[in-house]
């Protein structure tokens, strides 16, 4: 589904990604771990097309298409979703309005008719129940006044509504207590099928107890320095990152 080849990217003139190679197949769950500053967030931002980052070399193919040539909204329409580490608040814009615009723009891109008001509300209720989001939150402005945990849960809710092929979870576990973590992970697991893939970006093993990865990568100083199965995460938990840095 996703093939990254020799990806170099920089921000404000400083090179952060120094040649990333990564392949994610359909239905797979990949974990990307690494110490602070290794480039984890840069990678996710580059994949979704954040304008602050410049790709200086390399290519990214998504479902056979050149991802880097697409505008951020088109990447979304093609099926890429990012669960932000720090979801922004948009006061005055209701979740309903926001999601309806997003869903209908996606449908328009795919040549489908927009959903009627009734159909849309039904979809919202369905997905809310699936991820366990309080109806109170769904009636508020986007992320306004949401706690950290509620914001993360809202990200997963949006993921449920947009049904992406590839979901990137950028440090979804940061700022969550055990219970919130479990609820968020449950939501993600429910949405995961053999047809879609997930990239989990995290520091800690904890989330991976709930969302089981097929493959674990370690990102260090802009490169993937180690790739292995899920046991790698456990090893990192025990030994930290130093042994990677030395090796």
> Rounded to whole angstroms, how far apart are CA atoms 146 and 153?
10
Asked if 90 is part of the footprint of other proteins (rule: CB under 8 A), the reply reads: yes
Asked if 48 is part of the footprint of other proteins (rule: CB under 8 A), the reply reads: yes
Q: Starting at the edge strand that comes first in sequence, how are the strands of the sheet with 29-33 ordered?
A: 80-83, 166-170, 197-201, 29-33, 215-220, 223-228
Asked if 91 is part of the footprint of other proteins (rule: CB under 8 A), the reply reads: yes
- For the packed helices 148-162 and 117-131, what is the interaxial angle rounded to 10 degrees? 130
Comparing CB distances to other proteins, the nearer of 84 and 220 is 84
Which distant-in-sequence residues (6+ apart) come within 8 Å of 174 by Cβ? Answer: 85, 203
Tell me the closest approach of the beta carbon of residue 214 to other proteins, in angstroms.
Answer: 25
Interface with other proteins by CB under 8 A: which range of 28-36, 105-113, 173-181, 197-205?
105-113
Q: Which helix (H) or strand (E) holds 33?
A: strand 29-33
Asked if 111 is part of the footprint of other proteins (rule: CB under 8 A), the reply reads: no
Asked if 119 is part of the footprint of other proteins (rule: CB under 8 A), the reply reads: no
* Residue 193: both structure tokens together: 């099928």
Residues in the chain, how many? Answer: 247
> Rounded to whole angstroms, how far apart are CA atoms 14 and 54?
10
Tell me the closest approach of the beta carbon of residue 167 to other proteins, in angstroms.
Answer: 12
Q: One symbol per residue from 59 to 88: x for binding other proteins (CB under 8 A), - otherwise; what is it?
A: ------------xxx-xxx---xx-x--xx
Asked if 240 is part of the footprint of other proteins (rule: CB under 8 A), the reply reads: no
Q: Contact residues for other proteins (CB under 8 A)?
A: 48-51, 71-73, 75-77, 81-82, 84, 87-88, 90-94, 97-98, 101-102, 105-106, 109, 141-142, 158, 162
């Amino acid at each position: 589904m996703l093939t990254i080849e020799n990806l170099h990217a920089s921000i404000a003139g400083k090179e952060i990604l120094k040649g990333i190679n990564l392949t994610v197949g359909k239905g797979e769950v990949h974990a990307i771990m690494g110490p602070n500053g290794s480039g984890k967030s840069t990678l996710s931002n580059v994949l979704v097309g954040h304008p602050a980052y410049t790709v200086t070399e390399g290519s990214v193919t998504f479902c056979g298409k050149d991802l880097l040539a697409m505008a951020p909204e088109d990447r979304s329409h093609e099926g890429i979703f990012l669960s932000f580490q720090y979801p922004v608040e948009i006061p005055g814009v209701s979740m309903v309005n926001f999601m309806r615009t997003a869903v209908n723009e996606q449908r328009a891109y795919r040549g489908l008719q927009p959903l009627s008001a009734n159909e849309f509300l039904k979809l919202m209720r369905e997905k809310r129940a699936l991820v366990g989001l309080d109806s109170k939150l769904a009636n508020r402005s986007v992320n306004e006044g949401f706690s950290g945990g509620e914001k993360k849960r809202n990200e997963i809710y949006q993921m449920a509504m947009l049904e992406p092929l590839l979901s990137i979870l950028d440090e979804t576990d940061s700022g969550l207590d055990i219970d919130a973590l479990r609820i968020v992970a449950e939501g993600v697991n429910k949405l995961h099928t053999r047809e879609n893939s997930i990239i989990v970006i995290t520091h800690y093993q904890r989330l991976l107890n709930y969302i089981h990865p097929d493959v674990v990568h370690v990102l260090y100083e802009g490169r993937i320095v180690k790739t292995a199965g899920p046991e790698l995460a456990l090893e990192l938990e025990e030994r930290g990152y130093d042994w990677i840095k030395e090796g």
